Amino acid sequence: MKKYFFFIAILLIGIFFFFFDRNSNNNEEKIFKNAVTPSPVQVAGFALGEDAPFLAVNLIKFKEKAEYADGRETDLTGREAYALYADEVLGHLAKVGAEPIFGGDVSRLILGEVEELWDVVAVVRYPSRKAMFKMATSDEYRESEKHRTAGLAGQLNIEVTEDGFNFE
């Protein structure tokens, strides 16, 4: 029975995109903006949502050369600076019960279009929004963020729940 519903759902999605693409104006401005920090509206929405486990899908774009806020000279690339942050963030994640699930380089776009691809996709599972907020507001994490902001040109961070779409 589940396979039948899955098939119907995929069929309906396919039909939607078939007609949506034919009826859309390809000259429309695409709204898409990488950011380094969330907007106040995004923070408020995150704080008011259900406090349940979730996945954070991070689409990451690096600067060519790292730029530290304190003006220090560095030969690091954006990727190298972000790698320093990533090494440190593993400990911060563990302290709040979060865990990295996946990380990999983006090789190409299979469907859709964007002006520029992201460099990396990383997925992290958090036990709750409170856990993520606790980590992000800790002094230790704030200290690690200097490498993140030095290396990060921008990112999209997408919250995904694990309850809803089931492949079984």
DSSP string computed for 121-134: EEEEEES-HHHHHH
The sign of the CA dihedral 87, 118, 150, 34 is: negative
Q: Output the furthest CA–CA distance in the chain (Å, rounded).
A: 61
DSSP one-letter code for 144: H
Tokens encoding 71 = 């003006």
Q: What is the pTM of this model?
A: 0.72
> pLDDT digits over 55-112, tens only?
999 999 999 999 999 999 999 999 999 999 999 999 999 999 999 999 999 999 888 8
Query: In this predicted model, what pLDDT tens digit does every residue of 98-147 receive, in sequence order?
Result: 999 999 999 998 888 888 899 999 999 999 989 988 998 899 999 999 99
**What is the C-alpha separation between 90 and 159, in angstroms, rounded?**
19
34-160 CATH choice from 3.90.550.10, 1.20.120.450, 3.30.70.100, 3.40.630.30: 3.30.70.100
Q: Where are the domains of the chain?
A: 34-160
